[in-house]
A = this chain, B = another copy of it.
Amino acid sequence: MGIAERKLRQKEELRIMILDTAWQMVKQEGWHALSLRKISEAIEYSVPVIYDHFENKEAILLEFSRQGFALLTKKLIHAKEKEENPASQLQAIADAYWNFAFRNKEYYQLMFGLGMPCCDLDKCVPEKGAFRNLVMEPIERMIKANGKKKANACLKYHSFWSVLHGLVSIKMMGSAHAQDTLNKLVLEDAVSGFIKNLEG
């Protein structure tokens, strides 16, 4: 009885069709523009059939998030394998991570819940400048005091902020169960590392 199998195959095909269509939309117009009605039109089925394949809209986005993590992992493994000693491996992983993010912006945004009503931060929120000055001033003082001519304050400012924002936003996503004590330690460790690097 190949009927059941054929049906399963057809169902799987439709599922893939939904995902392909949805992915095209996300790539072209961003994830907020994704709509079940537009998908249903593109696949030439009515809206409720989508619910036979995905519990809801979020489940479709989640599927992409999963795909994104799978792809990222693949890339990182590949990058790591090319190197032998751990320091180079970390460097390679970092590089691959960066490349993945900007070659697959849609994935990355989906994976980490980026992208919002707020447009460019720079243009809309002048207060950002005050923050920048605030952080840059002590950095510049340290650079001067330690006579590190080649150290770029602007660069260090970005680095400093990134560490902070990265820590915060990763903890915020991970939400509840992440141990509080650990996270404060991570902050201290990262910041003291940054400072040491700026001094020595």
Chain A residues packing against B (C-beta within 8 Å):
31, 57-58, 61-62, 65-66, 69-70, 72-73, 76-77, 80, 86-87, 89-91, 93-95, 97-98, 101-102, 105, 108-122, 124-125, 127-128, 130-131, 134-135, 137-139, 141-142, 145, 152, 154-156, 158-177, 182-187, 189-200
Contacts and interface: CB of A to CB of B under 8 A. Distances in A.
- Can you tell how many copies of this chain the complex includes? 2
A91 to B, nearest CB: 6
Nearest to A60: B117
A169 B112 contact: yes
B61 A195 contact: no
Nearest to A172: B114
Pairs A-B, 3 closest by C-beta atoms: A166-B166, A113-B116, A69-B127
Contact of A191 (B90, B131, B152, B194): B90
Contacts of A198: 87
Given A172-B105, A196-B197, A167 B121 contact: no
Most buried by B among A87, A154, A192: A87
Nearest to A93: B135
